Amino acid sequence: MMESLDGFAMWNEPLVGNLFGNFYYFRVGGRKLGKHSILGEAYKETWLGPMRDLVLGGAEARFPEVVRGGYLVIKEPNGSIGSPLLMEALPESRMIFLIRDPRDVVASSMDARSEGSFLQERRDGQRRTSRPDRNPNAYARLRASTYVQQIEKTRQAYDAHGGHKVLVRYEDLRADALETMKRIYSTLEIPVEEAELARSVEKNSWENIPEEQKGEGKFHRKAKPGGWREDLTPEQAEIVEGMAGSLLRELYPFPSTA
């Protein structure tokens, strides 16, 4: 929806956050990065600058038209692990903290990686049997763990970011896309024409996706908040709730019905 607006472009998953975040937070096995490490804490100023250049240079090379005045939306959910570093390197940027009920995230991920799904076909040859099919509970645990890791880092970035920022729940987008989009732009202080926004919302609505492109195993699956109740076993829901409990209570403060 953001890309459809005049003067906007979208950078689809540069994974720059993954590049740095993974090393900075995890690759050294939890050990503190010493002064010699290229991403050593003591020399942060010296590497945040080149990191900023890497993002800005990459953006300029890919979207030269936006340089003349416009907005670049960077879709980077899989780079969320490095979001605290990214936002520190680009403090004047705006930030959206996009969340969704972890149970629906896990259910969607299990469907996407099941035998015959769009993602499984795309990665055909990499694995003979998909992980959710082999051991669904173990997969639910693994995916919930990734969710917690990513959302916790995003929240850390969001809390620390001094610039314009907004928290958006997927469920609110589904319930009232136009109003939620208006709230996003006004909070981020980006002027957009309401009529154009309405057209974009309509164009990209669930109802306008052809039926044959929707359903189980497809990229567009259900778009149904709370769909996890049909998709996950009670045991799987408990696994997710156990791992993402504090985030769930904070971001989705209503009792489980699992």
Partner 1 sequence: MPVFRYPTVSGVARRVRAFLGPETGVDGHSAGGVAPENMIWIFGTGRTGSTWLAAMMEEPEGHDVWFEPRVGTVFDPQRFQRHGGKHFILASQYKDVWLRSIRNFILDGANARFPELAGGYLAVKEPGGSVGAGLIMEALPESGMVLLIRDPRDVVASWLDATRKGGWQSRRRGEGGRRAESLAETNPNAFVRRHADAYLQHVGSARRAYVAHEGRKVVVRYEDLRSDTLGTMKRMYGELDVPVEEARLAKAVEKHSWENIPEEEKGQGKFYRKATPEAWREDLTRRQVKTVERITAPLLEEFYPKGPAEQQG
Residues that bind partner 1 in the complex, under the rule CB under 8 A? 11-16, 19-20, 22-23, 27-31, 35-39, 43, 45-47, 49-63, 66-67, 69-77, 83, 86-87, 90, 92-96, 98, 188, 190
Min dist. Cβ of residue 234 to partner 1 (A): 33
The identity of residue 85, as a single letter, is L
Task: Determine the Cα–Cα distance for residues 195 and 128; give it in Å rounded to an integer.
Answer: 49
Cα 130–chain centre separation = 22
Nearer to partner 1, 57 or 245 (CB): 57
At its nearest, how many Å lie between partner 1 and the CB of residue 149? 17
Least CB distance to partner 1 at residue 56 (A): 5
Residue 128 has phi, psi (to 5 degrees) of -75, -45
Smaller CB distance to partner 1: residue 58 or 227?
58
Name the minimum Å distance from CB 14 to partner 1: 4
Rounded distance between C-alpha atoms, residue 103 and residue 99, angstroms? 12
**Contact assessment for residue 177 and residue 205, using Cβ atoms and an 8 Å cutoff:** yes
Nearest Cα neighbor of 232 from 147, 143, 168, 146 is 143
The token duo for 219 is 């990229």
Residue 148 or 188 with smaller CB distance to partner 1? 188
The DSSP bridge partners found for residue 15 are none
Of 93 and 256, which has the nearer Cβ to partner 1? 93
Nearer to partner 1, 78 or 233 (CB): 78
Q: How far is the CB of 235 from partner 1 (least distance, A)?
A: 28
